[in-house]
Structure 1
Amino acid sequence: MSLFAELKRRKVVRVAVVYAATSFALLEAADLMLPRLGVPDWSMNLIVGLVVLGFPIALIMGWALELTPEGVKRTDDLPDPATPEAAPALLGKRTVFLAALLVAVGIGLGAGWFLKPAVEDPGEAPVPTAATTAADDAVQAATTTAAADTADEPDKNTIAVLPFVNMSANPDNVFFAEGIAEELLNILAGVDGLKVASRTSAFSFRGKDTPIPQIARELGVRHILEGSVRRQGDRVRITAQLIETESDTHLWSETFERDLVDIFRVQEEIAQAITLALKDVLGVRQVSVAATTTDLTAYELFLRGRTRFYQRFGLDEAIADLRSAVERDPDFAEAWAFLGAASFVVGNGGYPTELDRARLMDEAGAAVERALALDPELATAMAVKGQLLTRNRDPAQIVEGLQLLERAASRVTADSSAPLWLGLSLLELGRVDRALPYLEKANALDPLVGINQGYLGIAYVTAGRAEEAILLGLRSQELTGSVFWSFQMLIELVNSGAEARAYELLGAMLAADDLNPVDRQFFTEMQLAISDPAQRDAVFVSGEPGADEVDRFRAVVKDLMFRNGARAISMGDLRVSQLMLTIGAWLPSLGWLREDPALYAYMDRIGTVGFWELDGFPPGCRPVDGPAGRRLDCSGYGQ
């Protein structure tokens, strides 16, 4: 007997056909039903894997077994179907039943395995120490305080858009999926009366199994939009669902399958459906979405470049994508704006690059000028241009830059960059009173972004709110792994005589698990210097010329903390020290630094004094001439 004839006799071919048909129907049903049931996004991938794994099992069982009126028997025990004694074949319903049963059993066993709760080995549990307990208490207090700000029930007109899951076979389409979610977030942010959580905070839950109600609590929203994107060639399927988080119920869910050319139309349909679902809260709202480009390849390059920019990862690749996007469509205003933004953050330092930083800064300026020529109201372009102007050391341009940042910060957007940049610029200029509202706005927009928490903490300690500042500094360290923002708190505590509190804060910072050895040694030295002033000169680096950047930064911290300001001021050429000086000068206890003629001369060199002459000096301060040169008299500062 031939192999094919034997396969037919054993019903293997029919089992394979039935299994394939059943599996296809099952997958199509799951693709439609799972999003509406609220199951985790990875469930579809699990089902696909189990169906594939079940196929060879079905073939083996089809070869070995047969379902008969007398029950399941081995195929070899059955009479030849060509003989008169053969029982009537049950190749229809029974074969379908067997194949479906195999699929169900496989899925049940696989789901039981993957979904069973993990059992921790009690022997692996860490033993808490006094230091870790203190740090945990401090971080818990910070988290509790931050949560207290949003403890009130979130408004019904609040929503967060989570990153959409890439359901395509090509992993590179993750940029497309997240880009679509970002587009919807930006569209919804423009709906009058609807408050939208910032992209950075909402997207921080990417790849996590955090329950929806917990996400809503942390973001302070009442509704969550989540979904998935599957792309095949020029066709795209977008599934989206709107969840009311207080009751954890689905208000709306729908699947859109369109040609890629209709992508802007789909975005409009989804946004309109959401506003209709919330009409009792918002009233009737009409949403319209204009195509930002007619070149779909340029649009995909833009989505990928913008996503990389927001993630602050692969920024050189982001710049390359955005350059390609504007080369394909020179009238693509948003692509020009984000090309300027990416070029600025890389050119300004702080991120690794293989590109020339000076050229990037030039390109940033040209890109935002082009973006504003195409669309004068683009908030991203206005904010970047404002940043460029405030760093030109020209007083008139500093004023113009602040005005642009104010315009950008006033726009309805889910991006906290503009208010953060504006608040930080004002803080460096000594205008703490004007900086605080913008830094609070940035933190409210993006409460899970560490730099927003950190810079608000610096503003609070500058305004005399040290305990609130400490909690924010610890929270920023928890979110970013950086201790940069806590240095300002330490400087103020020591200079104001609260050395015991500074010692406690250093203990909490030392308890961080991910603290690198260099910082750990430095904090230990600082604790020693606080507890024994005689040891200060011995444990700190000198900061003499030739020291590396880390040593010079440490010297600035030491000098500001222990009232040895002359050497710190002479280091104004170091960028990070410049930030420490220009912000540290406004700490309540550093009057000796504010009134030092060397600081006045430094502020004059970077254009700050010229700005003060145009816009007014910091409250409580005025310029005076003294034996050592012109300086600030800040006798009324803080009053």
Structure 2
Amino acid sequence: MNFFTELKRRNVFKVAAAYIIVAWLLLQVSDTLVPALHLPEWFNSGVAFALIIGFPIAVIFAWAFEMTPDGLKKEKDVDRSQSIAKVTGNKLNNAIIGVLVLALGYFVLDKFVLDPERDAAEIASAVQNAQEKVQEPAATEQAEKSIAVLPFVNMTSDREQEYFSDGLSEELLNLLAKMPELRVAARTSSFSFKGKNLEIPEIASRLKVAHILEGSVRKSGDQIRITAQLVKADDGYHLWSETYDRQLDNVFQIQDEIAGEVVRALKVTLLNEAPKSRETSPEVYQLYLEGQHVRRQVSAPTLPQAINLLKQAVALDPTYAPAWAELAYAYMWEAGIGLTPIDEAFALADQAIERALEADPGYSRAYFVKGASQMYNKFNFKAAYEGYQHALELEPGNAFLLGQNATALRAIGRMDQSIALFEQALALDPLMSEMRSWQALALSYAGQLDEAESAYRTVLTLSPDFSGAHYRLGRILIAKGMPGVALEQIKQEKSSTYSLTGLAMVHHALGSQESSQRALDELIRTMAGHAAYQIAEVYGFRGDSDKAFE
């Protein structure tokens, strides 16, 4: 107790409090000035380190010394009857109050003036960088440095092994896409030609590329044969072809060799070292590819199966980041379709994300999944954008990541930047109907109804049964004052949830309140368990805000 009293008498607590407040203020100012003055990134770390080191020094100094009318003296040399520690304490109180006022003022300025402008500038800069990295190439450049990787044909007698040939093709595509000097068509568009008997020039024309990489995979036990050939689309000339007969544990070297041969054949000059495949054991690799393949089917039977496969993979190789990231994504989808409670599923997902990043801090998909957790569980759209942006910085040619960044920008209200980024993504993935629908939503939010209508019609051309597209096109037509045309669109909607939601809205717009209520009653009766959002949307559309928020 005496020691505590002495600490108070010597103003140690007040000095510590004043130091902490001043240190916080200095760090905030430093954080603002560093980008404005183009100071090196380590400057903030240096300031923080100096302030941390200074704290115990300040506390010790307050204990050992005292301010007197004659200046600074060692505390032991000051006569207690002559001490002015109480006066100094009052001055420190005033100083603390003054610094607190300054800190509060800076906080308000930063939060409501500087921070929105800084965020807008950072986002605009990030969008511009992404656009520069994925600009439409000139015709001659496209002819030399653009390529699509078609799914390699599974030549194994067991059709269940198709996941392996598809997965290997995708891994090869991803490897090539990491080279910014190459323009690589995205997976969704390239794989849309699987099983279709189309000529190479036709496929290349639709994908807007000049070269096609195709091949086949035959696997028997631990032996694998991979045949690959690079074709020039305009004349069908084979620029390169090779057959690899290897053991399965050489699959990563084969992928690297094929990527290297493509680079040489297209005469691409890489500015950095060529990316390499992430290696693991053949058993883990097959479990990962199969788990990824099964996860993509997104159903009640397949998601637990995918999680089981991926858990086996990480148990065998806890350092294989792709399996951890895919496991996290599978947990999220379990929550998405109601198989696992949301809090439980996302807690498991977040744990898997951390393991992925521990295993490989440079793995872009782990940052994407981390962003998805922020977006769809924590609803922290800014943090989601930061995760997606980090992923895109690691893989600037990834159309899917461009689309996710655009989605996050849409969520935080940056519609113009979102729409522009969607255009960049669609340049790489022109046949991805889902991406086009995301863009259409951003266009509608931005009030660009004609462009949104055109985008939804393109979605339906690419994928006539795309869930929700007829309904959303109907919403656009209602907004354009065309409820009769909208009704014809909504009648074509295959999804019961979207169909009933749209019918309740469009009949209200047509003035038929009885038909509107009948559709809403049916929506509530049959879909109340998972369509609360759509039910609220109908009430909001009809102007019944109280019911919308029930």
Q: Which category of TM-score, normalised to the shorter sequence, fits these structures?
A: 0.5 to 0.7
Percent identity between the two aligned chains? 30
Task: Check whether the contact 2:310–2:326 (CA below 8 A) recurs between aligned residues.
Answer: yes
> C-alpha distance in 1, partners of 2:257/2:194?
24
Residue deviations 1:460-487, cap 9 Å, x none? 1222221221122233345272453554
Q: Tell which deviates more after alignment, 156-165 or 424-433.
A: 424-433
SS state at 2:142 partner:
coil
- Superposed displacement of residue 540, structure 1: 4.1
Superposed counterparts of 1:330-345, under 5 Å: 330-345=318-333
Aligned match of 2:356: 371
Aligned match of 1:481: 465
Aligned match of 1:567: 547
Task: Check whether the contact 2:409–2:415 (CA below 8 A) recurs between aligned residues.
Answer: yes
1:236 equivalent to 2:224? Answer yes
Task: Check whether the contact 2:392–2:401 (CA below 8 A) recurs between aligned residues.
Answer: yes
Aligned match of 1:548: 527
Q: 1:260 to 1:288 in 2, by over 3 A?
A: farther
Aligned match of 2:488: 507
Q: 1:294 to 1:535 in 2, by over 3 A?
A: closer
1:380 equivalent to 2:380? Answer no
- Superposed displacement of residue 194, structure 1: 0.4
1:401 equivalent to 2:384? Answer yes
Task: Check whether the contact 2:151–2:170 (CA below 8 A) recurs between aligned residues.
Answer: yes
RMSD: 3.3
Task: Check whether the contact 2:497–2:527 (CA below 8 A) recurs between aligned residues.
Answer: no
SS state at 1:422 partner:
helix
- Superposed displacement of residue 538, structure 1: 4.8
Q: 1:434 to 1:289 in 2, by over 3 A?
A: closer
1:418 equivalent to 2:401? Answer yes
1:249 equivalent to 2:249? Answer no
Residue deviations 1:596-639, cap 9 Å, x none? xxxxxxxxxxxxxxxxxxxxxxxxxxxxxxxxxxxxxxxxxxxx
1:454 equivalent to 2:437? Answer yes
The answer for unaligned runs of 5 or more in structure 1 is 1-148, 572-639
Task: Check whether the contact 2:147–2:212 (CA below 8 A) recurs between aligned residues.
Answer: yes
SS state at 1:155 partner:
helix
Residue deviations 1:198-255, cap 9 Å, x none? 1122112222213222222222211111110011222111011111112233222221
SS state at 1:452 partner:
helix
- Superposed displacement of residue 337, structure 1: 1.6
- The one-letter code of the counterpart of 1:309 is R
> C-alpha distance in 1, partners of 2:298/2:373?
19
> C-alpha distance in 2, partners of 1:187/1:388?
25
Q: 1:544 to 1:225 in 2, by over 3 A?
A: closer
- The one-letter code of the counterpart of 1:155 is Q
- Superposed displacement of residue 380, structure 1: 0.9
Aligned match of 1:634: none
Task: Check whether the contact 1:229–1:237 (CA below 8 A) recurs between aligned residues.
Answer: yes
> C-alpha distance in 2, partners of 1:559/1:357?
26
Q: 1:448 to 1:335 in 2, by over 3 A?
A: same
Q: 1:410 to 1:445 in 2, by over 3 A?
A: farther
Residue deviations 1:307-344, cap 9 Å, x none? 33345463322222111111001111121122112222
Superposed counterparts of 1:45-60, under 5 Å: none
1:278 equivalent to 2:266? Answer yes
Task: Check whether the contact 1:230–1:236 (CA below 8 A) recurs between aligned residues.
Answer: yes
Q: Tell which deviates more after alignment, 247-256 or 157-166.
A: 247-256
Q: 1:538 to 1:356 in 2, by over 3 A?
A: closer
- The one-letter code of the counterpart of 1:201 is S
> C-alpha distance in 2, partners of 1:559/1:336?
42
The answer for unaligned runs of 5 or more in structure 2 is 1-134
Aligned match of 1:361: 346
> C-alpha distance in 2, partners of 1:362/1:518?
29
- The one-letter code of the counterpart of 1:419 is L
Task: Check whether the contact 1:494–1:561 (CA below 8 A) recurs between aligned residues.
Answer: no
- Superposed displacement of residue 368, structure 1: 1.0
Task: Check whether the contact 1:333–1:375 (CA below 8 A) recurs between aligned residues.
Answer: yes
Superposed counterparts of 1:94-173, under 5 Å: 155-156=142-143, 157-173=145-161
Q: State the 4+ residue runs in structure 1 displaced beyond 6 angstroms.
A: 149-152, 284-287, 543-547
Which of 252, 257, 262 aligns to 1:269? It is 257
Structure (1/2) with the larger helix percentage: 2
Task: Check whether the contact 1:372–1:378 (CA below 8 A) recurs between aligned residues.
Answer: yes
- Superposed displacement of residue 275, structure 1: 1.2
SS state at 1:541 partner:
helix
Aligned match of 1:432: 415
